[in-house]
């Protein structure tokens, strides 16, 4: 918010039983966490107690081939549809933002606009849409395709998709609905705007049959780090979730993406960059290392190799797992994530086995194992070094790793004046310190974030 001290923003990345691929096998984890509403309620309340800006749900509209071929050893084959889950969680939370993925590759803009606008109303202004293109080829088979769309085409479609969704969210102005019983006028027709979009991929008349939302429109999150992904983020994202394994990588990405904003008439404060961070917290460094080792010892080699193959976009089962990670070309999956894998493997001279053991708990994101002070030091270094506006915290196991972070790291960040002690506003937009979004069709006065 204008005039307030800049502070770290935090998201809680809540992947079923935890970020670690073997978390479901941990004795303190509910093995059915992906489809257990009461467990999700317990976990999101921990994040809200910690004053997190938002919780974040990833999603796939299909089962990865790695999970089908895992000999029944993967815990990621079944979990809740995210909007349904967030609607339930909206009724048991008050402040935390509710963000979920909906792919632009296998959805229709009107449905996405309507669902997230409805969630924003249900939650009192706490909804966010994670705009992605589908890297999972298995999703294509569920929507009438025999071959997955090419990476460039997926992003081309996504740009038009985002433009339609944003246009639909501007169907109504802030005060369109009069609802005056005496005069009989329910809304002001002069403030209704019909989109009438006709493009290469979509023809959408509009208007949206949901009013302007409590935060103007839901927050847009974007999670791509390729050139296409960064261009899309610079165009329309409020938050970017990215995988940057080193401070140098993070600072370079931060500078590159922020420099693209002026071309779209946006300022640096209009976009919050929040790389993934996987913390393992202990009261001593040895305790933290023991916690991580306990999870690592639960990794099934079949699952680990399958995860690495799917992230790379290549079947690595024919390679010697104790040999070097091969120098494979770009695939049709996520190009940014493959680059992170290749850079990490080559920089540290890792074997395939070593690499899948590394990503089993991080998916290519930054892993920090240590005391609360050590983890806060790392976060402060990135934040003050212009490598991050905040972090998407990726707990290794749930709820244990998240509870450790809230109970041990949050107080340390607050002691340093780097993180809030109370929520600043009533909406996700206000807590992120983002400007009120003006309606593209109307001349309206600027609104300060509440």
Q: Does the annotation flag 148 for ligand binding?
A: no
Our measurement of the distance from residue 80's CA atom to the centroid of its chain's CA atoms, rounded to an integer in Å, reads 16
User: Which H, E and C letters describe the chain, residue by residue?
Assistant: CCCCCCCCEEEEECCCCCCCCCHHHCCCCCCCHHHCHHHHHHHHHHHHHCCCCEEEECCCCCCCHHHHCCCCCCCCCCCCCHHHHHHHHHCCCCCCEEEEEEECCCCCHHHHHHHHHHHHHHHCCCEEEEEECCCCHHHHCCCCCCCCCCHHHHHHHHHHHHHHHHHHHCCECCCCEEEECCCCEEECHHHECCCCEECCCCEECCCCCCCCECCECCEEEECCCCHHHHHHHHHHCCEEEECCCCHHHHHHHHHHHHHCHHHHCCCHHHCEEEEEEEEEECCCHHHHHHHHHHHHCCCCHHHHHHHHHHHHCCCCCCCCCCCECCCCCCCCCCHHHHHHHHHHHHHHCCEHHHHHHHHCCCCCCEEEEECHHHHHHHHHHHHHCCCCCEEEECCCCCCHHHHHHHHHHHHHHHHCCCCCCCCCCCCHHHHHCCCCCCCCCCCCCCCCCC
Q: Does the annotation flag 151 for ligand binding?
A: yes
Rg of the chain, C-alpha, whole Å: 22
Q: Does the annotation flag 317 for ligand binding?
A: no
- Using the Cα atoms of residue 367, residue 372, residue 377 and residue 380 in order, give the sign of their dihedral: positive
Q: Does the annotation flag 59 for ligand binding?
A: yes
How far is the C-alpha of 72 from the C-alpha of 349, rounded, in Å? 32
Q: Does the annotation flag 4 for ligand binding?
A: no
Cβ burial of 68 (10 Å; 0-12, 13-18, 19+) is middle
Our measurement of the distance from residue 421's CA atom to the centroid of its chain's CA atoms, rounded to an integer in Å, reads 23
Could you list the residues known to form a binding site for FMN, using ranges: 59, 101, 151, 155, 225-226
Could you list the residues known to form a binding site, using ranges: 59, 101, 151, 155, 225-226
């Amino acid at each position: 918010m204008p005039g307030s001290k800049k502070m770290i923003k935090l998201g809680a990345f809540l992947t079923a039983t935890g970020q670690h691929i073997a978390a479901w096998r941990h004795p303190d984890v509910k093995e059915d966490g992906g489809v257990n509403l009461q467990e999700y309620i317990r976990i999101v309340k921990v994040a809200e107690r910690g004053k997190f800006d938002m919780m974040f749900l990833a999603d796939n509209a299909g089962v990865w081939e790695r999970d089908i071929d895992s000999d029944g050893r993967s815990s990621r084959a079944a979990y809740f549809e995210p909007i349904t889950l967030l609607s339930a969680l909206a009724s048991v939370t008050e402040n935390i933002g509710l963000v979920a993925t909906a792919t632009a590759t296998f959805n229709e803009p009107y449905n996405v606009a309507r669902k997230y606008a409805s969630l924003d109303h249900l939650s009192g202004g706490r909804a966010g849409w994670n705009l992605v293109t589908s890297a999972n080829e298995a999703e294509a088979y569920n929507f009438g395709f025999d071959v997955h769309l090419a990476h460039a085409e997926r992003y081309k479609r996504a740009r038009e998709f985002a433009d339609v969704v944003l246009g639909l969210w501007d169907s109504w102005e802030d005060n369109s609905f009069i609802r005056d019983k005496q005069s009989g006028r329910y809304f002001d027709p002069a403030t209704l705007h019909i989109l009438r979009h006709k493009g290469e991929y979509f023809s959408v008349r509009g208007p949206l049959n949901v009013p302007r939302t409590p935060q103007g429109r839901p927050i847009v999150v974007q999670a791509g780090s390729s050139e296409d992904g960064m261009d899309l983020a610079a165009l329309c994202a409020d938050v970017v979730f990215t995988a940057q394994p080193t401070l140098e990588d993070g600072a370079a990405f931060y500078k590159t993406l922020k420099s693209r904003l002026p071309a779209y008439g946006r300022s640096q404060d209009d976009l919050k960059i929040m790389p993934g961070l996987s913390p393992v917290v202990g009261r001593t460094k040895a305790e933290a290392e023991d916690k991580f080792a306990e999870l690592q010892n639960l990794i099934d080699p079949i699952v680990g190799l399958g995860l690495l193959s799917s992230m790379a976009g290549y079947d690595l089962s024919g390679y010697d797992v104790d040999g070097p990670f091969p120098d494979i070309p770009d695939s049709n999956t996520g190009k940014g994530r493959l680059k992170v894998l290749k850079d990490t493997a080559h920089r540290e001279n890792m074997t395939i086995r070593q690499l899948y053991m590394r990503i089993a708990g991080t998916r290519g994101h930054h892993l920090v194992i240590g005391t609360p002070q050590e983890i806060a030091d790392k976060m402060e270094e990135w934040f003050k070094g212009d490598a991050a506006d905040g972090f998407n915290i990726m707990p290794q196991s749930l709820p244990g790793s998240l509870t450790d972070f809230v109970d041990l790291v949050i107080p340390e960040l607050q002691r340093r004046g780097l993180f809030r002690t109370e929520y600043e506003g009533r909406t996700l937009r206000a807590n992120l310190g983002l400007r009120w979004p003006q309606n593209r069709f109307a001349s309206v006065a600027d609104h300060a974030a509440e």
